[in-house]
Amino acid sequence: MTMPVPPASRARATLAALLCAALASVAAPLVTAPAPAVAGIDSRTLGARYDSAASRITFRVHSSAATRMTVNLYAVPTGTQENASYLLTRDTVGTFSVTVDVAALRSAGITGTVYYGYRAWGPNWPYRTGWTKGSSVGFVADVDATGNRFNPNKLLLDPYAREISHDPLRPGMTSSTVYASGPTHRNVDSGPHAAKGVVLPTATPAFGTKPGRALKDDLVYEVHLRGLTRNDPSVPAAYRGTYRGAGMKAAYLASLGVTAVEFLPLQETQNDTNDVDPTGTTGDNYWGYMTLNYFAPDRRYAYDRSPGGPTREFQQMVKAFHDAGIKVLLDVVYNHTGEGGVYSSGGSNVYDIVSWRGLDNPTYYSLTADRQSSWDNTGVGGNYNTYNPVAQDLIVDSLAYWKNTLGVDGFRHDLASVLGNTCQHGCFSYSRTDPNTALNRITREMPPRSGGGGTGVDWIAEPWALGAGTYQVGNFPAGWSEWNGQYRDTLRRDQNKLGVAPVTPGQLADRFAGSSDLYGDDGRRPWHSVNFMVAHDGFTLADLYACNSKNNNQAWPYGPSDGGSDDNISWDHGGIAADQRRAARNGHAFLMLSAGTPMVTGGDEVLRGIRCNNNPYNLDSSANWLGWSPTAEQSTFRTFASRLAAFRHAHPALRPASFYSAADTNGNGLAQLAWFTPAGISPDGAYWGNANNHALGWRIDGTEFGDPAPAIYVGYNGWSGDVNFTLPSPGAGKNWYRVTDTATWAEGANQVAVPGSETLLGGQGTNYLLRGHSLLLLIAR
């Protein structure tokens, strides 16, 4: 089984996190069957909510083991003590609540926005009358035998807050020890510094009409929201890097053929400190895979950062894309949180207490069998406890909020195999079929979009992590599409490791035809394979063919970045720029001509490179933002990419709803899909299995799909030398016409022919000399 380029290289895995995983792996497994998942979205009505008259606010928060809970209310988010504090009442299922009159808050000095946080006591730190903020009264232990980590000195962010006031770390307050447990820091009061929830009126859905397009008909464009416009002179300076600015690029993305924009994480993450050192990367978090809150749109990406502004502006951005017919997909991280892992190795038991950990540590996090440490088999600090019904509620309620209130059309789940875990503490065990996993509950309560389009959600999994049992490509439940890492690796090896890593024609055919070997055995379809050559994690398309190895230890703005895979399956093509561009054309053509759902990465349309840095998770810099002053060669590639995308959209034969058949179902003498050797004959078993054969052709009968072209032919020469292709039948009375040849001789503005201007080649038996490392695309008419 081919392993993927490791995704968890997005942020440095500390030695402590790795040690924690190693210790957990030898602990005795403890499998606890949870109660049935709570049916229904938002059934616990958690969070802070105004009543219909906006005269009262009800605060509701869950904790299975807390013995006391207060809510602290503030007029301003930092630098002061609370204006008021209220004791919450616990019900029989562990929900704490209190209702507060707004008039009373006004009397307490909170005359505008209401900011709030919780303080919690429990078995490891029971309440005692003499306790005051910053004291140790009542303290028993930082953690007890069941994993509780209550600490009333730490103000806790509500997991259900709709917006948050600021990040835990920010300019002027960059020491995380304020939030730490342990003997040195447990008595430090975090209240004046901690991020607070913002009480907002209930948001009204205002995101336009959602596109109902089937995923098979989409072209996904993965991009960082800030990076999309931060460097774009066509966007007013104040809006660059914001939701508002991103919405202004809808027409541009549509011109590329993009039908779905997939943003890297937009839920609140620790990034307020990114600009503390304007030319350094220490502590910076650009990608955003350390989530602080699962409901709040990140304020850093809002032009209007006033309370409620990020929510409104996000909705307006979604509407702008919807008005252009473009879906909005969101990269989400429910496998771990921004609360992080253990501070250091060597037996340390010091953890930050910011939100979930201080409210209900063993409910929200997977722990080791002894409940003393985080269970971490992903290398990112500790797994979220996705098999716990309460923790699942948070996932489901959050997704429903982004879908129903903020207008998101689909979600790509980071390290999604964690969502299939069936073990809460002391082990990891993935299951595709267990109905109580988060994976299956998500699709049960928010059904996926059907293969024919319409309502529903596009669910996409990153089907791997670093730990044992987490690589699950091809093994997700019905309704889930997957990033197909085997597609990427097979085609990269064929392009970049010829003669070093064997790739057979049969393996190529599997990937080009939709990977039925991965998705055809469980009722899924070609479009469940999200095909990609590159993603944010790793090299850009340009660097894939211009770099032999990573070069992450560069000076600002191209680095330094740590981590990153050492196995990129890349090649610099001898440093010959024309050959690098030809390889990039092939890589892009693979995506546009393969069955499945293609995904490209922002800037690939102009061959954006970042000088071989393959892990720029911390580079909030001009080098990592998209550029908007393309060279002539970059503009030529953009034309190539956009015309091939238009070709894909115009030809439904390239977007099959089911796997291709080898049968001639309409009696016209052509199989729905037929494979050919360069000699124009059907490959036999020996040809299919011989890794020394580097050329393959295939013909699709367009009449089977209502395609305007009676037939489409693709010839691929992966060999370094020229190969003569004998063309098969285009159908009775038809001829072949050339749409594109990716070879260097054809490079130029019209390398992909405008419809109607294709070059006539001839009929069956016509010979075509295809240059080395090139691809040919023909249509019949």
Say which residues have a Cβ less than 8 Å from residue 521's Cβ, sequence separation at least 6.
Answer: none
Band of residue 27 on the pLDDT scale cut at 50, 70, 90: very low
pLDDT tens string 421-440 = 999 999 999 999 999 999 99
Q: Say if residues 64 and 147 touch (Cβ distance below 8 Å).
A: no
pLDDT digits (tens, 9 = 90+) for 315-324: 999 999 999 9
Inform me whether the pLDDT recorded for 234 exceeds 70. yes
The model's confidence at residue 32, banded by pLDDT at 50, 70 and 90, is very low
Integer Cα distance of 527 and 594 in angstroms: 10
Q: What are the Cα distances from residue 513, in Å, to 399, 486, 643? A: 32, 13, 21
Residue 25: the pLDDT is: 32
Which residue in 97, 153, 98 sits closest to 125, CA to CA?
153
In terms of DSSP H, where are the helices of 497-572? 505-512, 516-519, 541-544
Per-residue pLDDT tens for 486-501?
A: 999 999 999 999 989 9
pLDDT of residue 37: 42
Pairing between β-strand 327-332 and β-strand 89-90 as defined by DSSP bridges? unpaired
Structural tokens at position 667: 């009696």
pLDDT digits (tens, 9 = 90+) for 238-249: 999 999 999 999
Question: What average pLDDT does range 131-148 have in this prediction?
Answer: 98
Average of pLDDT values for 541-547? Answer: 98
Kindly name the residue from 262, 414, 510, 605 that is annotated as catalytic: 414
> Which pLDDT belongs to residue 466?
83
In 3D, which of 238, 203, 446, 165 has the Cα closest to residue 316?
A: 203
| Model pLDDT, residue 40 | 76
**What share of the chain in percent tops pLDDT 90?**
92
Residue 14 pLDDT greater than 60, yes or no: no
pLDDT tops 90 at residue 416? yes
What per-residue confidence (pLDDT) applies to 19? 27
- Determine the Cα–Cα distance for residues 446 and 721; give it in Å rounded to an integer: 51
- pLDDT-based confidence at 36, cuts 50/70/90? very low
Using the predicted structure, report yes or no on whether residue 734 has a pLDDT greater than 60.
Answer: yes
* Site of tokens 């957990």: 24
Query: Is position 462 annotated as part of the catalytic site?
Result: yes
Q: What is the pLDDT of residues 383-392, one digit of tens each?
A: 999 999 999 9
pLDDT tier at 468 (50, 70, 90 boundaries)?
confident
**23 band by pLDDT with thresholds 50, 70 and 90:** very low
98-129 pLDDT per residue, tens: 999 999 999 999 999 999 999 999 999 999 99
Percent of the chain with pLDDT strictly greater than 70: 95
Partners of 374 in beta bridges: 367
| Residue 128 and residue 170 in contact, taking contact as beta carbons nearer than 8 Å | no
Q: What is the DSSP string of 341-380?
A: --S-SSS----B-SSHHHHHHHHHB-B-TTSSSB--SSSS
In this predicted model, what pLDDT tens digit does every residue of 282-306 receive, in sequence order?
Answer: 989 999 999 999 999 999 999 999 9
pLDDT per residue as tens digits for the range 605-649:
999 999 999 999 999 999 999 999 999 999 999 999 999 999 999
Q: How many CB atoms lie within 10 A of CB 419?
A: 25
Task: Give the CA radius of gyration of the chain.
Answer: 27
pLDDT at residue 53 greater than cutoff 90? yes
Work out whether the CA dihedral 333, 338, 343, 349 comes out positive or negative: negative
pTM assigned to the model: 0.94
Residue 4 pLDDT exceeds 70: no
The active-site residue out of 167, 232, 360, 462 is 462
User: Is the pLDDT confidence value at 676 over 90?
Assistant: yes
Q: Which of 72, 75, 76, 94 lies closest to 84 in space, CA to CA?
A: 72
What per-residue confidence (pLDDT) applies to 39?
Answer: 52
Q: pLDDT at residue 212 above 50? A: yes
Q: What is the pLDDT of residue 187?
A: 98
